[in-house]
Structure 1
């Protein structure tokens, strides 16, 4: 089947947390025989900060950030069996959705793929006349990269025909154990961009524990933290390209996952970093969120902290040996149950069933 996928970026992870998700899932779908074209706008300097070359498993079309270019690539949707509009594309999202629905063939499966459901649903609640809310009856399926039953119920209440979570996962070809790298040496490391929905939680779960453990070393990676007041035992290294993520995850004694506030409140929303870290064999400490036990076993495959004091206590008690054991158990779990191949098998079945049903209904 031909899939036309309109998203933020496949080629660049720069200010684009969905890149790993797109790459892992679309590569796995391509391996199942799908013919995929990914359309991404040239915005936010992403093309200047590419971290992969165009892959051989997916055609990538980069279009200028103009209305004319957007309309031109939307016309290509008429060639596809499945048309996907992702959330957060970053350039004229509402117009993009309108154009895709207008250009897609009547029998094509039209999908809205939400990579930030809590934020999107908040917009829909606040604005009854939101373009997406008006368009939901014309969309055959909503997919989300997390959220569980609360997100499914919310989307259905807004008029979606159906909503199915497709969770983040591991791509073993890109995230795996590597040799330690002294650039990333630390007792605890955190990697994440500075965002309003995350900053207070980073202060609570990372900066405060660091200030209480002056004899321990901490590593902070990600964009936007350069003017943040941090304690002397925290080393800030800025943006970390995806090619260095494995070394960043495996070198420190432990790495920290801090969910954005909306994701933590909603639950059932494991970040890509959870699976990236586990795939590298890292010992992961995560803030608590509902549903984590469905992905990793707390205390055995992941360490869970409900506040900054928990983080400090875990680091104080953790040894390199016990950290390695936790990381290896996590790696085995995700390799067995949480790869993008696992996810793609379910998505492939879903696509074929829904597209078949639509074609039967049209006859």
Structure 2
């Protein structure tokens, strides 16, 4: 272990998962860092009604500072973060991102490192390639380090081409104290379930891998959970849920015969970008079917610990051969692999190795 670090972390939200897919990642990493003796203050804006949809109280493993979603609120929080050993600016805070990307660099001094932590690197890099005038292009070389939660060598090389001093992926993982097997819940007992907010960068793939599959398998039951789907036209055998609180995620993952993972377009194109929900489901012992992307076998063994489908037709084929016994076996294998190699404790040790 290294000497305890004080870390100031500017992100979207630690206490609310509402329209905030990075919440599980933040919670897992920060909790694991706390368990290894480091202290984290998490600064998040009061924006997008997230505080009204909190799904956890302030934890005892981090200090949470909710600041007004104003420039003055950002400036006060930056001043409060001054003097930390590490200051993190995460991507996708949601308000004043450009201002934060610039001003957080003013905190750099001897004894303080400034880190950009990208929780959607394929999208960030696509933005930079499309806009030569994006000010972040000129700021990247000024950061001491870029961390990402996925992407592999393609992302490392891309950030290097924009002048990053170093870029290191710290992948999503599992917190076994948060995601674990529970009793099935009748609300979620279907043949195939998918949990994800409705996003333009993923909607077409949801249609292909989920909605079309349901339309072609009228004798099967499907469940679609997440914000934004309630008005979507669908087959009669699809049940809809809106935002699903994290307290229900284990039951959701333990109740369906299979859990579907559908990646955003940019993550599929790039590869090596497992979603947090893959590890959540694996931790609960779920049988996972994922869309196809490069690097899956780095995390789970296809056909043994996870099923991989390149199309909706392949999803339907997997469902046709899936029995409760096979589903249980594949889910147990995924859980064993995740606990052995992909917990946030593993990721926290990697973090310490970078700064040690």
TM-score bracket for the superposition, by shorter chain length = over 0.9
Equivalent residues in 2 for 1:171-250, closer than 5 Å:
171-250=175-254
1:263 equivalent in structure 2: 267
Q: Deviations over 1:13-57 (max 9, x none)?
A: 000000000000111011111111000000000000000111111
Question: 2: CA distance between counterparts of 1:241 and 1:322?
Answer: 28
**Residue deviations 1:269-309, cap 9 Å, x none?**
00001000000000000000000000000000001100000
Structure 2-normalised TM-score? 0.98
Q: What is the root-mean-square deviation of aligned Cα atoms in Å?
A: 0.8
Aligned counterpart, 1:140: 144
Aligned twin of 1:163: 167
Q: In structure 1, how many angstroms separate the alpha carbons of the residues matched to 2:170 and 2:136?
A: 20
Contact 1:305 1:311 in 2 (8 A): yes
Does the alignment pair 1:25 with 2:29?
yes
1:240 Cα deviation after fit: 0.8
1:338: Cα distance to partner? 0.3
Confirm whether residue 333 of structure 1 aligns to residue 337 of structure 2: yes
Q: Deviations over 1:222-275 (max 9, x none)?
A: 000111111000000111110000000010100100001110110000000100
Report if the CA contact (8 A) 2:160-2:166 is conserved: yes
Q: Residues 184 and 219 of structure 1 are in contact (CA less than 8 Å); yes or no, is this contact kept in structure 2?
A: yes
TM-score of the aligned structures, taking structure 1 as reference length: 0.96
8 Å CA contact retained: 1:221, 1:239: yes
Match of 1:80 among 63, 70, 84: 84
- How far has the Cα of 1:61 moved from its partner? 0.2
Supply the distance in 1 between the matched residues of 2:352 and 2:34 (Cα, whole angstroms).
10
Q: CA deviation at 1:104?
A: 3.5
In structure 1, what is the equivalent of residue 108 of structure 2? 104
1:303-360 deviation digits (Å, cap 9, x = unpaired): 11000000011111110110000000000000000000001001012123xxxxxxxx
Point out where structure 2 has 5 or more consecutive residues left out of the alignment.
Answer: none
Q: Contact 1:284/1:327 (CA < 8 Å) preserved in 2?
A: yes
Distance 1:124 1:347 in 2: 26
Q: CA deviation at 1:174?
A: 0.5
Report the Cα distance in structure 2 between the residues aligned to 1:9 and 1:271, rounded to whole angstroms: 18
Gaps of 5+ in 1: 353-363
Shift of 1:100: 1.1
Q: Is the 8 A contact 1:14 1:46 kept in 2?
A: yes
Return 242-251 or 127-136, whichever deviates more. Answer: 127-136
